[in-house]
Structure 1
């Protein structure tokens, strides 16, 4: 059974829905040839536009996710949200509201990493969309930049909005009893992860393999051909190792520093980074951007060292059980998983919260937590990460709910979040009403009768 939303969310990508919106952007790109016959500009907001295909895709996507029947009033609401999004971007341009390229790159990498982990690794993600990671990043960069700018604008408009317990209760009491959502069983799960360390011998073997390839290239063999044959970077190997143009601070520091020391056509020595060992060739510099190709060799998986990771996690578990350290502090200090260590070790659901519906729980730990008591910590559990690393983790079951209809006692944080979003939405709507005349807006006649849109005109 799927959880139902307490309120209808805005269509633009807010923080809680950012991954879903990203997946939608991938799918919209993949479906673009199918949509061309319905395309056309249906709204202009200064230099921003809303396409008919954009509205149709968002509308159908929402119907599918919410399991709703076609509804013209809902379609109008979605159109209004798209227009409001473009107004945010138009006002951001006027007010010089921008985000750093490094922030865009970091957010893009985080989302790609998350999606890769959800589908079983980078290779499966590329196979699913039939595109390289480089292509996916290039296509999504502008979308993510716009999302971050909109997020910054919304924070400026409604960032200081708060709700009191009285307002939360009033919001809950306004929801008809027969409209309250029914929540399936959810869990809160924490993890502390240790990767099996790569031995010096395994590192030396990877480095030696690259040294041999470098000798072959210096002797006249083609770099791109050898990259296709030997590189272990699934995102670039098929393209002869070519990464495309990047700006400074968009690649890991070790790689960038070695690449920028080269002249076009030059070959680096062996460069070690968090991804493994690289052999780099600088292809071209263009202003502040540079294009390289590389051969990546990863040290062999350190299966023989898995016992060391198990022993370390056993010791950490004992400290937590004996109240010598909290689980959250142990996660921050010792976990190798960057996605969870700064969040007290807590895993996140697809919606970005720590409450995970049981049907979204990783199958590899489903049966483990199903037999655990709340606050219990598992013994170390070996597993393989989405990118193929051998690792071990301990799991803590922080909380578990039974299926129930939403109520203030059990679901206060969710209802409070919904009440806060509602209040922020009203603050944003008020901002729109005050700023609607500050930009040029032209709506296609077919959509001018949309009642939802009239509140912003």
Structure 2
């Protein structure tokens, strides 16, 4: 249990498990279901419950992500984390701690966007799980709400905890020498991105195609039939373009505005959004929810615009190399990537830090940066973004470490983060000890001997 000390504590890990691996959670649903004959409640915390399947899934997921060896002690530790999660939720209900609906919806949309990017777009996501985006969001909403409430409770408990350099050094000194982790080569990278824009001609061609389809519908042809034939939103096309009921702010503003202006059965004019051009028919409206169908046509990206993007970034690179502008200022002024442009172009790792293990570097730039010197800026590199857009970027190699055993000089930020997590974990444990008697807790006899659960006894 103590051979890998420089890691996030398990309480924080489990509370964020589905945030970090939500694709895995959906894959578990898409594959063979848990055998409900052996499932059952193994813990009750007021109105919150932990199922045996919750523990098994979290346990196997943790083993897969950390490559640790299976052990009953580890399973008990995971079980403790799940019980603690439920205690957070139970206390949040008692203390009336809530999260705004807009925040839940925003986080829901962000995670679905992330999922879509991982599988190559909304259509592929819907095809893969054989569910509409609406259905996926409905299944995720409660999970995300619970996670946000737990985060808010945890922030109230340990948000003000800080560590001093002296505490970081003391934390590191307690780690046995033979347990110090070995870090592989890592890099810090920054980028400036240009997306290849769709030409006016291509936009006009897509718009005109929808205008012609609209004329056919107004002349009497069936919208749903034409959606199946022409719509490039593959998932909804199979259902005649129908999307199902959505609330306000759940679809892009341009689409929602056009749909909400219609009467049931009405057909919109051609509407442009970030996804392309839509022709919309309102099916039904219920209060603040509405059901619609659409036909989507996407303009293609012109090769000539890729060359324009390359030329533009080459000019920006020359300005930086000649010290006419800093990389950070150029990123802010010229980059099309909103995730990195305001922080100097810095690219984050999966763990949310600026240090990226070389085995996690985007393959499209791996071999480029492997031959670069620290401080060097690459020539423009053409690539395809996670959501399928054609783009070009220049990359700066900020730093590159050599493989080494953990030490305070080279790894202070990581060790400090681990020390902070450790201190926060102890603050959370103390909170549990003080609040354990404020809720009803029942543990299945099979797990009452878990050493990790001693604080709940």
Superposed pair shares fold, TM > 0.5: yes
1:282 CA drift (Å): 1.7
- 8 Å CA contact 1:12–1:82 kept in 2: the answer is no
Partner secondary structure for residue 456 of structure 2? coil
Matched, 1:277 2:277: yes
1:253 CA drift (Å): 1.3
Moved more, 187-196 or 114-123: 114-123
Closer, same or farther in 2 for the Cα pair 1:367/1:17, shift >3 Å?
Answer: farther
- 8 Å CA contact 2:63–2:70 kept in 1: the answer is yes
- 8 Å CA contact 1:13–1:21 kept in 2: the answer is no
Deviations 1:126-183, CA, capped at 9 Å, x for gaps = 4554544443333222212211121111111111111101111111111111111111
Partner secondary structure for residue 34 of structure 1? coil
Partner of 1:168: 168
Matched, 1:108 2:113: no
Closer, same or farther in 2 for the Cα pair 1:174/1:353, shift >3 Å?
Answer: same
Distance 1:429 1:321 in 2: 52
Distance 1:334 1:17 in 2: 36
1:124 CA drift (Å): 4.7
- 8 Å CA contact 2:132–2:243 kept in 1: the answer is no
Distance 1:358 1:75 in 2: 31
Moved more, 336-345 or 181-190: 336-345
Distance 1:347 1:15 in 2: 25
Partner secondary structure for residue 162 of structure 2? coil
Closer, same or farther in 2 for the Cα pair 1:256/1:127, shift >3 Å?
Answer: closer
Distance 1:83 1:385 in 2: 39
Distance 2:403 2:235 in 1: 42
Distance 2:414 2:178 in 1: 18
Closer, same or farther in 2 for the Cα pair 1:120/1:260, shift >3 Å?
Answer: closer
- 8 Å CA contact 1:11–1:58 kept in 2: the answer is no
- 8 Å CA contact 1:117–1:386 kept in 2: the answer is yes
Partner of 1:28: 28
The number of residues matched between the two structures is 454
Distance 1:162 1:212 in 2: 63
1:442 CA drift (Å): 1.9
- 8 Å CA contact 1:102–1:250 kept in 2: the answer is no
1:71 CA drift (Å): 0.9
Deviations 1:312-335, CA, capped at 9 Å, x for gaps = 212222232233333233223321
Moved more, 385-394 or 356-365: 385-394
1:408 CA drift (Å): 0.7
Distance 2:37 2:331 in 1: 52
- 8 Å CA contact 2:340–2:346 kept in 1: the answer is yes
1:16 CA drift (Å): 7.5
Closer, same or farther in 2 for the Cα pair 1:169/1:64, shift >3 Å?
Answer: same
Closer, same or farther in 2 for the Cα pair 1:15/1:43, shift >3 Å?
Answer: closer
Distance 1:186 1:145 in 2: 34
Distance 1:392 1:14 in 2: 37
Partner of 1:220: 220
1:424 CA drift (Å): 0.9
1:36 CA drift (Å): 2.1
Partner secondary structure for residue 33 of structure 1? coil
Partner secondary structure for residue 172 of structure 1? helix
Distance 1:416 1:398 in 2: 21
Partner of 2:152: 152
What does 1:361-372 correspond to in 2, within 5 Å? 361-372=361-372
Distance 2:404 2:379 in 1: 31
- 8 Å CA contact 1:331–1:341 kept in 2: the answer is yes
- 8 Å CA contact 2:15–2:147 kept in 1: the answer is no
Deviations 1:164-222, CA, capped at 9 Å, x for gaps = 01111111111111111111111122111111111211111111111112122222322
Partner secondary structure for residue 225 of structure 1? helix
- 8 Å CA contact 1:17–1:352 kept in 2: the answer is no
Distance 1:373 1:127 in 2: 43
Matched, 1:233 2:233: yes
Partner of 2:454: 454
1:357 CA drift (Å): 1.3
Q: CA RMSD in A?
A: 2.2
Note the residue ranges of structure 1 that are not aligned, 5 or more in a row.
Answer: none
Partner of 1:257: 257
Partner secondary structure for residue 75 of structure 2? helix
- 8 Å CA contact 2:433–2:455 kept in 1: the answer is yes
Partner of 1:79: 79
Partner secondary structure for residue 25 of structure 1? helix
Deviations 1:15-72, CA, capped at 9 Å, x for gaps = 9766433233223323462342321111111221111000011111112222222211
1:279 CA drift (Å): 1.1
What does 1:2-151 correspond to in 2, within 5 Å? 6-7=6-7, 9-10=9-10, 19-31=19-31, 33-151=33-151
1:434 CA drift (Å): 1.6
Partner of 1:317: 317
Matched, 1:299 2:299: yes
Closer, same or farther in 2 for the Cα pair 1:235/1:165, shift >3 Å?
Answer: farther
Partner secondary structure for residue 292 of structure 1? strand
Distance 2:36 2:327 in 1: 52
Partner of 1:332: 332
